[in-house]
Structure 1
């Protein structure tokens, strides 16, 4: 049964009259929640009222329907953890109502949510459970849907042969039930598997059949995705113009129907295709569009990451509650039976102990995985030595370093340029440059400290015993300056016309962590201030270094003495421009 807003609108009058009681009122709330598609918060209100009334009247069937509807709405709203909680409660109610089809559907919804979160292991477990339950019913379409979704999950983790097995069975069931939209998804998914396996002719044949059906049904979201797969097929054939044509069709369709995720993915693919064609201006244009739409769907990704950070312990507890509820009911029925049944209960207890031990083992594994994820996140924020100290002692003691090389950079004219841009385009532009700076800094084993607006700060000589940090910093600075110049030249047709100023100094600093919430690693000292002055007294496209740094790198790099320059609050300082690596460096 399809959702229909007009049905909800027609039922609202009956709802506000308040004359219906008992199961009639429950059915009214169910239909109102299901068909209210324009206002999801209102739909959620109806589902919550259905749950409360079902509990009051001890009606387990409608309690199942209420929790399942609530889970569906929270899933659409991006509240994936809350949706999981509702689906587990729906499963419990379906068991109590002896409604096997509902129990299977609830498990399929749990599996779909785990798949959306990115937890493939749990998704496969609950798909298997759903399929096993639905095989006991006459609900062919639901069984086929569970098989289709399980196949899609197998495809996501590159188990292509298993995916084809699921799709073959689901396709036969959809065809038997004359369920066209299910057949279309099935054909399209089979085509994507063949594409990944390199069987391009079968891939194109199946995907085109799926698109034909979906166009008749006016279901455009999967069409946009399937078109990009056909584009990949032609790219592998070496037919770049046809690949571009299919990706443009995908982008136009996604834009027409507001499919933000597919808009982002199609723009990214066009950017990569134009890069292969040697058209860097067009490639950059589509890459910028990809960034804009990627950021617009990041809320869902953030929810997924938050859900991944859970240990799944709470969800596993809920499953344990379901198991215990089943066991209690079995025990109540079996208490009146004699000695033979007692033996069966002993067997059930043995199974329970096995499951409990298995649950403890899995929980320990989950905790270890979450600990590893937490460690990686901490290392992404702090240097390894500092992160270890924070974990062991709960705080970080400030540390003095006798010789550290500090770099500052900023973009000339960035303030006036930024006033002409939208916030999204501004962030996108800064991200484009700083992502490359990060890669260069990491390549030379230097430490990024922070960014402030268009200013970028990094240091060398922290947390390592290498004495060549000044040389490494100069090498990195030359790469950064070259990248900015190259980008400006490549993007001559765009509005990206930055020049960069770079300043470097070497000297003693103090390093440590500041704050207790949203803490940050930072460095302080006269060397930092002088490095900042080197940058502010530099010129566009130049690398300005202090006398301290010059003495360390003069044997490796050609430098031009600028003289002694008056610096605010510092007096006169000797400065040098780095011109490049010496053609012959002494051994």
Structure 2
């Protein structure tokens, strides 16, 4: 049995602003000792920058005090024209404000921090600030902008060649997968980040990786592994004096014991989270802990106490700024970035116009004219090459007819197809094996299978829709209707099954799996979703039933629905399985291909 763990918002960004000095954890004792130096008031401005940076970073007991240090650092940095410390000041301001729950102001501070880091040409700072921006977008339910800035962070930090910062970006991207319930992908990300943090002996990062791995294991129903990892994470964070994430993991422990049926232990963990959050003024965590205690007392039948905790939950929840303002800021930021791009395009067009005028005036000089013509020819060839490359890339993403419609009209209308055959595959015990296999080998193995699947469906004129973790989805009869798509899909499924069976004998050092395949035929709606990173997709009950066919299959078998059977029964032998119960669908007739 699996249970859901509510995603509690926090980021590792605040732990990495001292990377260039290789300081590996916040230290409240250091903040207390440096405060005495600060109070003496005789520190020169250049040295005071570093003092304020350390104070704002390490002060975690009093968030308002930490915020005042950050704002003073910003003012002094602007006065001295120091972009590097300006980046650090805005980063710490964003961190303190975010912990207090004012996310729109935190986001504004992060964007100013990234701008300063970019101006200072400090890749590590720019990358870690992008992580913080992505985290805020993720928490405000804006996955498009969240993934955009996670990718920016990872790309920027790869250029910086900093293992700790890169691992933090990978860890937070994995957290986004966890939030989207892509547990297999989240497991791969968290295992990779844990390995990196372990190799560089970074306890804070290791603690977050272990805690998030615990959440994944909890969702897999492996409560012992979940409890082991989360307890180890809490132990590390307690030693570091970092209480914000401990509140989150304590609630997760409460969920684990609730699943075990131990209400008393679940209450103890939730109460511990509430007390810790109250001591340190963490409003969101206070709200979450009150809600958890309300739920637990309701299960115990103590409705009076349940109501008291629920009222406290509502009070603290309403004190946190409305996330809608953050979403509005996200939209404004997107509009700003689009307008900036338009300015660049206009500027580029203006430059090209000026070049054209210059070229016309130089035509009268024959020798220079020949050189210019040769140059233009070279540019023309390269533009054609890039155009061909772009069209090839577009065809790798979208079907040919869809790509043509997009190029012609600038958009693609959703289309209903009355009869389409949909196939799902799923590797057996993938999640279990993923825990024991190196992430690199796991990815290589999945890549091997999916590349072969791509070749097979291309051979039969089918359309790949997408991959979801270790699941592969394709369809026949779209985007252009055609006869025989069910026959083609069955032929492709047989080749896929044969490929998987034969690969078990490969001596290539990679893990190999058994596979289940399910097929169903029916109507769908097809089209493109989103405005960035287009994806051709299909929707409808047919997709859900095809997925149920796969989950109702067995390893090494191809399970088809009654509608698909009626399409191919004259060409293929099938074994009737009878009517089988399907979640939310009742009894459905199913057949094994023999």
TM-score (norm 2): 0.49
Bigger relative CO (Cα 8 Å, ≥ 6 apart): 2
TM-score (norm 1): 0.49
